[in-house]
Amino acid sequence: MTPPLLTVSDLVVQYHRSGAPPVRAVAGVSLDVGPGEVVGLVGESGCGKSTLARAVCGLTAPAEGRIDFDGTPVRPLGVRRRDPALTRVQMVFQDPYGSLNPRRQIGAQIADGIRTAAERGEPTDGTTPQQYLTRVGLPESAAARYPHEFSGGQRQRIAIARALAARPRLLVGDEPISALDASAQAQVATLMRSLAVESGAGLLFISHDLSVVRLIADRIAVMYLGRIVETGSTAEVWDAPRHPYTKALLAAVPRADGAGILPTELPGDVPDPAAPPAGCRFHPRCPAAFDRCAREEPQLIAGGVACHLYAASDHGLQPLRSPH
């Protein structure tokens, strides 16, 4: 079996605030991504997804647990410094305009990516910035233009071309489609998938939008308030969700197969990560909560669910109570 490219084990990332206890934005997460595999990480904003992405890229130090990329521990070197080996992990951010230099031509910015790979000691394969542009569906002439001359979707394609030019083994997309209009979202997500899979790189695709993640991911991990609450193949999570939070996320997605069924809004808001609820973090919003839920935090069990409604058994997950 091919070893994973990325292994995240019992990761805790916390933010320090003056005069107050630290906030655990990521509170014990384990996750892996294999070569050529697309893993979708979904959850509402504020659930810790972006903090996890920054830690994976070596931009934030873990408080506990570990991250291994290609068999080597990921360690941040300090503010704004990254281990050169980590340039094989490339991130595509939410705001493509903010991540591109407005004063430099597109071709020069993609050439930076090519130089990054060369500085790492990788033999060049001769691909030019213009060729990277055509791979993301833009004309070669875009190389001589500037970021403001493009639409949001085109700018995100440019950001992807620049990331690809650094010849990553892992692409991390942190809400890469949420600033785009609806027509560009699926196109950019599908493009990221095909480019990652073609090159044998892994893709960790982070989004609050389960309907887009479903289009491109092989596996889905659902995150709530710093913890993974459900994980499984895309078909399992989309067609037969088990965790009440996953069910609520799905109910909030407008579905073409619903024959007019209106999406249901998720009840309440994500609690403050500085003061997570005792027991199951989802219990104040959970329609299936019972007395044990407020007392005891459920762990992610074999079968991929963290919920007291289920127990692991030799035959997979065993429901202990009706979820309704």
Please report, as ranges, the residues that interact with ligand SF4 according to CB under 6 A.
Answer: 243-244, 280, 282-283, 286, 288-289, 293, 298, 307-309
Q: Do 117 and 124 meet the contact criterion of CB atoms below 8 Å apart? A: yes
For ligand SF4, which is the closer residue by CB, 263 or 319? 319
Containing 246, the helix (H) or strand (E) segment is: helix 244-251
Least distance to ligand SF4, CB of residue 309, Å: 5
Least distance to ligand SF4, CB of residue 292, Å: 7
Least distance to ligand SF4, CB of residue 238, Å: 18
Cα-Cα end-to-end distance for the chain: 39
For ligand SF4, which is the closer residue by CB, 197 or 288? 288
For ligand SF4, which is the closer residue by CB, 173 or 298? 298
For ligand SF4, which is the closer residue by CB, 184 or 229? 229
Cα separation, 4 vs 39, in Å, equals 12
Q: Residue 261 to residues 183, 186, 214, 249, 267: CA-CA distances in angstroms?
A: 22, 22, 19, 15, 18
For ligand SF4, which is the closer residue by CB, 191 or 293? 293
Least distance to ligand SF4, CB of residue 290, Å: 6
Name the residue among 221, 226, 230 with its Cα closest to residue 37.
221
Strand ranges across the sheet with 89-92? 89-92, 170-174, 202-207, 38-42, 219-224, 227-233
Cα separation, 43 vs 204, in Å, equals 14
Least distance to ligand SF4, CB of residue 288, Å: 4
Could you identify the residue written with the tokens 């071709």? Answer: 107
